[in-house]
Amino acid sequence: MKPKVYIAAPVPAEVETYIGQHCEYRKWDGEGPVSDERLIAEISDTEGLLITGKKIDDSILNQAPKLKIVSNASVGYNNFDIEAMRKHNVMGTNTPHVLDDTVSDLVFGLILSAARRLPELDHYVKQGRWKKGEGDKKFFGIDVHHATLGLIGLGRIGEKIAKRGKYGFDMDVLYYNRSRKPDVEKEHGYTYASLEYLLKHSDFVVLMTPLSPETVHFIGRDEFKLMKESAVFVNGSRGQTVDEDAMVEALQTGEIRSVALDVFQQEPVDPEHPLLKMPNAVTIPHIGSATVKTRFDMAKLAAENLMKGINGEEPPNIVKEFMD
C-alpha cells in the first residue's frame, strides 16, 4: 500500500502528479488556509504533511499518531513548534536556496521603488495629476548608485542582495551579522560593522534576519532614532522583527525618509493601518518568492523532502533542529 499524505498548500499540477505516483493523497481545495479542525481530521491517518505557514504544535500532533514528516513549502519554519515535533518524532523540512535570487531581486525592487518614489508617482500619473508645464522638483527621489547599503543579516539571501548593490549599483556595503564573514569581506570588499554604526551610516537599511525570540522587534524606536533622516528602511524578513508603531512614528516625525515593506506584523495587513495611508511607505503583499518558476521549484522541493521523509530517509532539507 502507498503511504498516505495530505497536501495542505497549493502545488502545481505536475507536483501533485509526482506525489500521486508515490503516495495516496488528499488535498485542501478550500479558500484561504486550512482550518485546524479540517487539518486534524485529514491527518489522523497520514504519514506526511505538505504545508505552508500553518502552526504545527501539540494540538495538531496529538491527533496525528502516524505522522513522520511536515514539509514546509517555504524557507521559513517559525510555524514549527520544534519541541513538540521532536517529542512526537516528527521531522520538519523547508525549501532553502531555490528562492534566494528571486527574493533578492524583490528586495532590490523595494529599494528602487522607495528611492525613486515609483508607486507614489505611478499613482500621481494615473490620477491625472501630471500637468503640462509643471516643474519636476516635486518628483525628485534619491540615488541608489554609490550610496551606502546596510544589511542586517548576511545569510544566503543577504549575500545576494549585497552583490547586487556592490556590483550592480557601485554601493558601499556594510553588514551586521551574528557571525563575521572575513572571507566574504576579503572577496567582495564588504565592511563588518556594529549595529549602531550601520544604522548611523547607511543610506538604505535592509533587514534580512530570520524570525526568532531574539529578533522580535529587533528594530524599534531606538534603532530608528539612530538612522539618518534621509535613510530608507526595507524589511524583507518577517513583520514581527520590526516594531510597527515605532516605524509609523519614525515616518510621521521625519526621523527617516521612507520605508519599503514586503512583510507585516499582521498579514493580510489591516486596511486601516496608518502605513497604507503614507505616500512614503511602499507596501506589497509578502511576495518575496512569488514568481511562477520559483514557486514551482519550492513546491517540487517540498514534495521531494516529503517523499524522503515518509520512506524513512533523511530529506535533503531537514531543518537543523532535527539533525541531532
Is residue 74 a contact partner of residue 317, using CB atoms and an 8 Å limit?
no
* CA separation for the pair 195, 186 (Å, rounded): 20
Strands of the sheet containing 258-261, edge to edge, are 191-192, 172-176, 148-152, 204-207, 232-235, 258-261, 281-283
**Given 3-state DSSP classes, what are the helix, strand and coil percentages for the chain, each rounded to the nearest 5?**
40, 15, 45
| 159 counts as catalytic | no
| 86 counts as catalytic | no
Longest C-alpha distance within the chain, in Å? 75
Q: Which of 238, 255, 257, 304 is catalytic?
A: 238
**Pick from 22, 1, 63: nearest CA to 304:** 22
| 123 counts as catalytic | no
* CA separation for the pair 112, 117 (Å, rounded): 8
Phi and psi based region of residue 159 (left: phi greater than 0; alpha: psi -120 to 50; beta: remaining): alpha
Contacts 24+ apart (CB under 8 A), 263-270: 263/235, 263/236, 263/237, 263/238, 263/239, 263/288, 264/239, 265/239, 265/240, 266/239, 267/239
Q: In this structure, what is the dihedral angle of CA atoms 305, 309, 312, 317, given to the nearest 10 degrees?
A: 50
* CA separation for the pair 295, 301 (Å, rounded): 10
Q: Which three cell numbers stand for residue 47?
A: 504519514
> Which residues, in sequence order, are CB contacts of 302 under 8 Å at separation 6+?
9, 11, 50, 71, 72, 73, 93, 95
Catalytic positions, written as ranges: 238, 267, 286
